[in-house]
């Protein structure tokens, strides 16, 4: 990794050249580089955390003055229990994964002696623009090296001490490996984002890691394909047959485990039939953890009847905008799903419940709400019905759809990807947590013996198109 002060164009050109070398390095050389990088980060943990403490001190002052959000401050902190160790573990997890390059997933015999293969290969040059998260440098470097891609990283000013120290440690470590120096670069120059976003000649994919404003800015200012999500507006729907204990466990984890994460729950939809049974149990634990509940009229009335008066301050009236908001904090929007309703415009066909025999239009309404207000990130249903769950998971348009499981599982490490470069809500190339596979594309290789396309067609030779085992 080089700390480059060169122009954005020269850095991108160097990365493009380095990518060609990295793409053909044997997997043993790429894995050795990851081991070296891991060992260096472990040995220099003290220096890196000291640099991070400098960033945290400045960021804390900025937060107190209202210049920096609490969610960004939390993401910046490398000293949070387990965070540094997770960063190191992620590198070794990536090292242990199979080589993503050169994987054949299609083989076809077009004719005797003329065989076609589809083979995985690196994308090329990645531009990663990130805010606050200093561990992104190690995550991206590991994934980029293993997948054979060059990477240019541009960090935010709030994490400048952290990422410069990490970059120097990784750069010194990689000097002893076969990875080209320009294959992983950290751009220090300020105000170069627009110039980088204009370099579609050299850069193949942009991955923004940050808040809504950054992601939307990137998407609006480049011709380069963008992989990422602008919002993490995740919802949980408690169906009428939701188990109380399961609901409490799933909702509390999804909201409270790490509220500043993009996979934290922001909206809770509750079937009207369980407003006075399941919802109070869930709310009691949430309120005890300091969660503010923004409720519609029916859910607020139900809670006011069942909860202690001391909790009243945390049960507030919701506005319509609350159901479009990624709070990234201990705030949760709550909305009632009617127990029955006539089918309205835009609703899907009612689900015939296998046990009751009644049309369950409430499920349709929950799905419609999520598809209208959600961000296509990760959404969950809590229900005892496999019929309802399968319909929910098929009908909700999101990268992750869960049944009786916390939305916090939406994570590359938890999916077994080692680590991730981000979570994508795109509908092309890669979706959800993006690990090694998401950083590869494919090419077609055709092996022949002098065949010409003009030999085939009407009245001529016929293609065999025989499918072969990959």
User: What does 341-408 look like in DSSP terms, one character per residue?
Assistant: ----TTPPPPEE-TTT-SEEHHHHHHHHHHHHH--SSEEEEE-S-HHHHHHHHHHS-SSEEEESS-GG
Q: What pLDDT sits at residue 1? A: 56
Inside any domain, residue 332: yes
The CATH number of the domain holding residue 181 is 3.40.605.10
- State how beta strands 205-209 and 351-352 pair: unpaired
Encoded tokens for 239:
């169906």
Residues 58 and 143 in one domain: yes
- 50 vs 45: CA distance, rounded Å: 8
How many other CB atoms sit within 10 Å of the CB of residue 245? 10
Task: Give pLDDT < 70 ranges for the chain.
Answer: 1-5, 190, 341-359
Q: What pLDDT sits at residue 213? A: 82
Residues 67 and 144 in one domain: yes
Inside any domain, residue 379: yes
Q: How big is the chain by its Cα radius of gyration, in Å?
A: 25
Distance of CA 239 to the CA centre of its chain: 26
Nearest to 378 by CA among 414, 329, 418: 414
Residues 212 and 251 in one domain: no
- 465 vs 470: CA distance, rounded Å: 14
Residues 93 and 64 in one domain: yes
- 291 vs 282: CA distance, rounded Å: 11
Residues 145 and 276 in one domain: no
Inside any domain, residue 450: no
Inside any domain, residue 451: no
The CATH number of the domain holding residue 244 is 3.40.309.10
Residues 357 and 436 in one domain: no
For 24-44, where are the alpha helices, taking DSSP H only?
Answer: 27-43
Encoded tokens for 384:
């005892």
Residues 188 and 321 in one domain: no
Torsion, Cα of 90, 25, 426, 363 (10° steps): -50
Distance of CA 315 to the CA centre of its chain: 31
Q: Are 177 and 36 in contact (CB under 8 A)?
A: yes
Inside any domain, residue 91: yes
Residues 350 and 436 in one domain: no
**Domain span at residue 35?**
2-227+421-443
Encoded tokens for 185:
């670069």
Residues 278 and 378 in one domain: yes
Inside any domain, residue 176: yes
Q: Are 444 and 115 in contact (CB under 8 A)?
A: no
Residues 124 and 222 in one domain: yes
349-366: pLDDT as tens digits: 344 444 444 447 999 999
Total domains in the fold of the chain:
2
How many other CB atoms sit within 10 Å of the CB of residue 240? 22
Encoded tokens for 114:
């003329």
Inside any domain, residue 468: no
Q: What pLDDT sits at residue 70? A: 81
Give Cβ neighbours of residue 74 (< 8 Å, ≥ 6 apart). 80, 258, 260
- State how beta strands 104-111 and 466-468 pair: antiparallel
Inside any domain, residue 21: yes
Nearest to 233 by CA among 269, 202, 205: 269
Residues 221 and 242 in one domain: no
- 51 vs 137: CA distance, rounded Å: 14
This prediction has a pTM of: 0.82
Encoded tokens for 352:
């015939």
Strand partners for 210: none
Q: What pLDDT sits at residue 348? A: 38
Residues 138 and 259 in one domain: no
- 146 vs 395: CA distance, rounded Å: 35
Secondary structure (3-state) at 29 = helix
Nearest to 95 by CA among 348, 417, 317, 375: 417
């Amino acid at each position: 990794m080089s700390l480059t002060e060169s122009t954005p164009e020269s850095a991108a050109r160097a990365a493009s050249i380095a990518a060609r070398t990295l793409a053909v390095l044997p997997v043993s050389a790429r894995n050795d580089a990851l081991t070296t990088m891991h060992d260096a980060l472990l040995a220099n943990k003290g220096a890196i955390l000291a640099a991070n403490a400098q960033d945290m001190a400045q960021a804390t002052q900025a937060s107190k003055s209202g210049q920096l959000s609490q969610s960004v401050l939390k993401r910046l902190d490398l000293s949070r229990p387990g965070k540094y160790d997770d960063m190191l573990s992620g590198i070794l997890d990536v090292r242990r994964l199979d080589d993503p390059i050169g994987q054949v997933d299609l083989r076809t015999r077009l004719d005797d002696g003329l065989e076609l293969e589809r083979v995985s290969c690196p994308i090329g040059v990645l531009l990663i623009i990130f805010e606050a998260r200093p561990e992104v440098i190690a995550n991206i470097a590991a994934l980029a090296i293993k997948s054979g891609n060059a990477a240019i990283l541009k960090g935010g000013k709030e994490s400048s001490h952290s990422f410069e120290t990490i970059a120097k440690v990784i750069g010194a470590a990689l000097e002893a490996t076969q990875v080209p120096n320009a294959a992983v670069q950290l751009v220090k120059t300020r105000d170069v984002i627009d110039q980088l976003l204009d370099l579609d000649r050299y850069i193949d994919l942009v991955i923004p890691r940050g808040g809504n404003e950054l992601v939307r800015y990137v998407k609006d200012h480049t011709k380069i394909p963008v992989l990422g999500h602008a919002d993490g507006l995740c919802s949980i729907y408690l169906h009428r047959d939701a188990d109380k204990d399961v609901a409490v466990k799933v909702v509390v984890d999804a909201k409270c485990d790490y509220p500043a994460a993009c996979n934290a729950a922001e909206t809770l939809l509750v079937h009207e039939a369980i407003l006075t049974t399941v919802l109070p149990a869930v709310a009691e634990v949430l309120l005890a953890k300091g969660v503010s509940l923004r409720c519609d009229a029916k859910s607020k009335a139900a809670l006011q009847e069942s909860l202690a008066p001391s909790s009243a301050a945390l049960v507030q009236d919701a506005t319509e905008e609350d159901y479009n908001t990624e709070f990234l904090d201990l705030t949760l929007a709550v909305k009632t799903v009617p127990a029955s309703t006539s089918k309205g415009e835009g609703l899907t066909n009612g689900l015939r419940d296998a046990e009751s025999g009644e049309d369950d239009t409430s499920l349709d309404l929950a799905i419609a709400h999520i598809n209208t207000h959600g961000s296509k990130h990760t959404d969950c249903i809590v229900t005892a019905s496999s019929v309802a769950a399968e319909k929910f998971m098929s009908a909700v348009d999101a990268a992750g759809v869960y049944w009786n499981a916390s939305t916090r599982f939406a994570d590359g490490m938890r999916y077994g990807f080692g680590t991730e470069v981000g979570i994508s809500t795109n509908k092309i190339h890669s979706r959800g947590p993006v690990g090694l596979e998401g950083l590869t594309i494919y090419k077609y290789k055709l092996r022949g013996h002098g065949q010409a396309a003009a030999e085939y067609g009407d009245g001529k030779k016929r293609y065999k198109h025989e499918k072969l085992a990959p």
